[in-house]
């Protein structure tokens, strides 16, 4: 499989010469990632949600990433031997190389990581066929594979922050994670994530990964402050790119003060109550591991989330109807009042 | 004697504050176990165990007759095997005894609490493993399921 990966790298290197190489450097959880885009087609899709992490840094990167699409470069991805019809999603994992590909609902693409060489490749047939999830959370699994090597864990959690510390929000879709993160954008709080957060458990630090958020189309009217950042939408959700318009509302790294398990109660006001670490682990681990089930050691990730739940104070966040009271409560909790 | 061991190929697990949280990565179903069940899982983490060997170990922790503990554990172990959380075989129980501390806890029948809210995620997006032998190929059990249909 190493030969195949080398073919991918060679094709990607050739692709970036067709329309002009566009290189961006990102600081992801404290590590430098140099991304070489073949022209502007994929750059326009993949870069905006990561733009808040872009840095001017010429040091040797910790990861080198090549991205190309066939439509704008005329270069196809090397053929897969023995590929049968009917497999919409596939994965390969041998400890050194991890690959993941999909061809589903008119979306197609694949990504590969070589852990030993710290090189990665992303390919799509065209920018228009990049999955709708990648418009808000590009390269999700690639980050998960690569950062887990460095004991940084991608966790299915929203994160809001004050000036010094942050609170993570964990739970299944619809529990109020994203709602709370988006409310933070209209308060004195900072936004770090609405869906996926990066966590360094021993250092008790959380990092922002994406500055894009997604809102159900029907709910969009409830977040008018997002309107200037509207980017795109699919049949279900609108995508907003918070950077650069709301850059002052974004935080990149904080120490973790607490973990909340939110729940929308319909009560008039919100309140914060202690819960057990077990309740937090039950809210975060299955969601995270079932979603990111490729290319990571799930038992190791489970133990990291367990260690986090044990070392950080855990609370239920009962979300009431009064949004102003909710943000005031969280602002006070994070010491910003 | 039936001896049970954790199905480590498919199950991710952790015991936190006496509660075992178990995720079957093959089905997307997850579970919690506390009380007697949480302690039984903790014992199984140290090696295979039978209903009898686990009952003996847990008798030092819970205020219950040994035969009742064994009966309830036999039921729980069979249920966990049916859910794909445990494998069963013949052999010798090796689970280490749990350390007793202080007074015995009140006994309640162990309950395996099952959560299925993530199951659809795996059913909607089944991932096909590929290997050096070739690109996406189905596992034998997937092929046979399709043939049945």
Tokens of A70: 């066939």
The whole-angstrom separation of Cα A186 and Cα A324 is 10
- Residue labelled with tokens 């001017």: A56
Q: Do B16 and A90 touch (CB under 8 A)?
A: no
For residue B148, pLDDT over 60 is answered with no
User: What is the torsional sign of CA A48, A53, A56, A60?
Assistant: negative
Lowest mean pLDDT among A277-291, B17-31, B109-123: B109-123
Contact call for residues B10 and B24 (beta carbons, < 8 A): yes
Mutate: best of A97, A132, A293, partner B, most B CBs <10 A: A293
B136, B138, B149: which to substitute to probe chain A, counting the most A Cβ within 10 Å? B136
Helix axes B51-58, B66-82, angle to 10 degrees: 130
What gap in Å lies between CA B129 and CA A293, rounded to an integer? 12
Nearest to A288 by CA among A132, A165, A177: A177
Q: How far is CA A206 from the centre of its chain?
A: 13
**How many residues are listed for chain B in this entry?**
149
Pick the closest to residue A133 from B28, B121, B138, B123 (CA basis): B121
Contact A289 B128 (CB under 8 A): no
Using a CB-CB cut-off of 8 Å, the residues of chain B touching A108 are none
pLDDT score of B137 more than 90: no
Residues of A engaging B, defined by a Cβ cutoff of 8 Å:
1, 80-84, 87-92, 94, 99, 104, 172, 276-278, 281-282, 285-287, 289-291, 293-294, 298-299, 302-303, 306, 309-310
3-class secondary structure, B109: coil
Residue B14's alpha-carbon distances to A52, A62, A283, B99, in angstroms, are 35, 32, 13, 18
Residue A92: name the closest of A117, A110, A72 by CA. Answer: A110
Residue-wise pLDDT for A91-130, tens only, equals 888 889 998 888 887 888 999 999 999 999 999 999 999 9
Check B14 against A282: CB less than 8 A apart.
Answer: no
β-strands A89-93, A97-104: how paired? antiparallel
Phi/psi for B59 (5° steps) reads -65, -25
Instruction: Flag whether pLDDT at B125 surpasses 90.
Output: no
pTM over 0.90: yes
Nearest Cα of chain B lies from the Cα of A86 at a distance, in angstroms, of 9
Complex ipTM: 0.90
């Amino acid at each position: 499989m190493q030969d195949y990966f080398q073919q991918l790298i060679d094709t990607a290197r050739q692709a970036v010469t067709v329309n002009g190489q566009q290189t961006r450097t990102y600081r992801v959880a404290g590590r430098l990632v140099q991304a070489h885009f073949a022209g502007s087609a994929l750059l326009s899709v993949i870069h905006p949600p990561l733009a808040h992490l872009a840095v001017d840094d010429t040091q040797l990167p910790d990861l080198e990433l090549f991205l190309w699409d066939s439509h704008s470069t005329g270069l196809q991805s090397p053929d897969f031997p023995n590929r049968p019809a009917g497999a919409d999603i596939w994965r390969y994992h041998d400890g050194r190389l991890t690959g993941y590909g999909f061809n589903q609902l008119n979306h197609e693409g694949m990504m590969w990581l070589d852990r030993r060489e710290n090189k990665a490749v992303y390919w799509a047939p065209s920018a228009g066929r990049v999955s709708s999830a990648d418009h808000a959370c590009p390269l999700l699994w690639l980050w998960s594979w690569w950062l887990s090597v460095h004991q940084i864990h991608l966790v299915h959690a929203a994160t809001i922050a004050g000036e010094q510390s942050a609170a993570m929000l964990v739970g299944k879709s619809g529990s109020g994670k994203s709602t709370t993160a988006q409310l933070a954008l209209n308060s004195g709080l900072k936004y770090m994530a609405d869906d996926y957060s990066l966590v360094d458990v021993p250092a008790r630090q959380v990092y922002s990964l994406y500055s894009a958020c997604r809102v159900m189309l029907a709910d969009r009217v409830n977040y008018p402050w997002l309107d200037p950042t509207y980017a795109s939408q699919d049949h279900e959700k609108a995508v907003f790119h918070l950077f650069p318009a709301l850059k002052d509302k974004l935080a990149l790294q904080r120490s973790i003060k607490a973990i909340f398990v939110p729940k929308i109660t319909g009560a008039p006001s919100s309140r914060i109550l202690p819960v057990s670490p077990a309740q937090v682990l039950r809210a975060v681990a299955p969601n995270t591991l079932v979603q990111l089930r490729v290319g990571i050691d799930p038992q190791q990730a489970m133990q990291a989330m367990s260690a986090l739940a044990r070392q950080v104070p855990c609370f239920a966040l009962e979300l009431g109807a009064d949004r102003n009271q909710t943000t005031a409560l969280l602002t006070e909790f994070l010491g910003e009042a | 004697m039936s001896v049970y061991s954790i199905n480590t190929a498919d199950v991710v697990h952790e015991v936190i504050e006496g509660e075992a949280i178990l995720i079957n990565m093959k089905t997307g179903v997850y579970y919690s176990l506390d009380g007697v069940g949480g302690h039984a899982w903790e014992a199984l983490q140290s090696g295979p165990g039978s209903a009898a060997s686990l009952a003996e170990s847990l008798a030092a922790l819970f205020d219950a007759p040994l035969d009742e503990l064994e009966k309830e554990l036999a039921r729980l172990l069979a249920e966990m095997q049916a859910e794909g959380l445990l494998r069963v075989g013949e052999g010798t129980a090796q689970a280490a005894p749990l350390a007793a501390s202080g007074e015995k806890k009140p006994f309640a029948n162990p309950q395996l609490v099952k959560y299925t809210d993530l199951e659809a995620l795996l059913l909607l997006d089944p991932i096909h493993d590929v290997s050096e032998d070739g690109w996406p190929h189905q596992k034998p059990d997937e092929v046979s399921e399709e043939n049945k249909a």
